Structure 1
Amino acid sequence: EASDLARIRAFVSRHADPFDRRIAQGHLTASALVVSARGERVLLLHHRKLDRWLQPGGHGDPGETSGEEVALREAHEETGLAGLTLHPGAPRPLDVDVHDIPARGEEPAHEHLDLRYLVVAPEHAALAPALAEMRDLRWFAWDEVDALGPDPGLRRALAKARRLFTDRS
């Protein structure tokens, strides 16, 4: 993760708008590790194209300059949850991850430099998933997540999120 953070810092220093999708090398993205109000469960989506369980997240819209802003908007758009907030005690970002995106259609291969934030869902908030982008959206107990086969970066970020909730108990 330290090398990913160094790469992100260098990338941001070279680009006036690091969220700009027109940058050939890649661009910043942001995602949300959405946790239930009491910290007992994490919300993951089954990505339609990648056929994997992931956290909500995505690209910045024109004019967005903050990873926090992008992560909260993407989480709301993809899950339908209203009232999402950043965890007050979590580092911002909680985690970073740089990963390759393969070429698709006219879009060349590039990198996503992902800023990952810990986001808390309000108690009893209703899900209204954007099903066009996913096959499923589901709450999981922490102990259920490993069976889903998360990649090492997501596993690391989820472990950090879980520690923030279990350390306060």
Structure 2
Amino acid sequence: MNRSSLRAAIKEYKTSYVDERMYMSRFLDLLFFDNCFERSLQSGHITASAWVLTPDHKQVALLHHKKLNRWLQPGGHADGDENVHRVALKELEEETGISEVQLIGNSFFDLDIHTIPSHKEVPEHEHFDIRFAFIANNPTQLKKNNESNEVAWIAIGNLEEFVGNDASVIRMKEKTLLF
């Protein structure tokens, strides 16, 4: 998936969620910036993440992010790589140890734009997150890296205990329940 195929996939994306429909035009506008896949675009840039389920779809892999002090799905910066699917897989393996997955569907699973607070010399900015859904072939691979306090399989039914009312994570939970 490169910039032009991502643009086409966003244009074709169908969602019943109003917030995602509103994000679509902002993503398309951002993709006109040459450096939209780079952190150097300080107002906001493309990121990619992985919503990874156990084979029975009853648990999702989340990590407790050190800097943000929140439970999140694995993901991160594209750092110039326009292939956001590859970025999501790379971040998944780096942050959880999970390397053997199957993509659910034919394209991305969810779109989100969220604000990242300022940290040290990095000003507040937005992450334009392309999210892919996967099934973990070997859920026992789970291990944390130095960016996380913890990584765990969280029961879909108990998700709110970890993420509170984070609308974007709850939206992915709702979509998961439709599988």
Q: TM-score normalised to the size of structure 2?
A: 0.82
Q: Which moved more, 1:26-35 or 1:15-24?
A: 15-24
CA distances 1:54-76 after superposition (whole Å, capped 9, x unpaired): 100000134x2121111111011
Tell me if the contact between 1:34 and 1:42 (Cα under 8 Å) persists in the aligned partners: yes
- The total of aligned residue pairs comes to 159
1:34 aligns to 2:77 (yes or no): no
1:60 aligns to 2:75 (yes or no): no
SS of residue paired to 1:111:
strand
1:136 aligns to 2:154 (yes or no): no
Cα distance in 1 for residues equivalent to 2:174 and 2:116: 24
- The aligned counterpart of 1:86 is 103
Quote the offset at 1:82 in angstroms.
2.2
Q: Which moved more, 1:107-116 or 1:17-26?
A: 17-26
**Percent identity, aligned pairs only?**
36
Tell me if the contact between 2:84 and 2:130 (Cα under 8 Å) persists in the aligned partners: yes
Higher relative contact order, structure no. (Cα contacts within 8 Å, ≥ 6 residues apart): 1
- The aligned counterpart of 2:24 is 5
After TM superposition, which residue ranges in structure 1, 4 or more long, deviate above 2 angstroms?
A: none
Any stretches of 5+ residues in structure 2 without a counterpart?
A: 1-19
CA distances 1:61-104 after superposition (whole Å, capped 9, x unpaired): 34x212111111101110011212322x2x52211111111222
- The aligned counterpart of 2:178 is 163
Quote the offset at 1:124 in angstroms.
4.6
Tell me if the contact between 1:35 and 1:121 (Cα under 8 Å) persists in the aligned partners: yes
Cα distance in 2 for residues equivalent to 1:22 and 1:94: 26
Cα distance in 1 for residues equivalent to 2:62 and 2:125: 24
Q: Aligned letter for 2:84?
A: G
Q: Aligned letter for 1:102?
A: P
SS of residue paired to 1:163:
coil
Q: How large is the Cα RMSD of the aligned pairs? A: 1.5
Determine which of 119, 123, 128 is the counterpart of 1:104: 119
SS of residue paired to 1:9:
helix
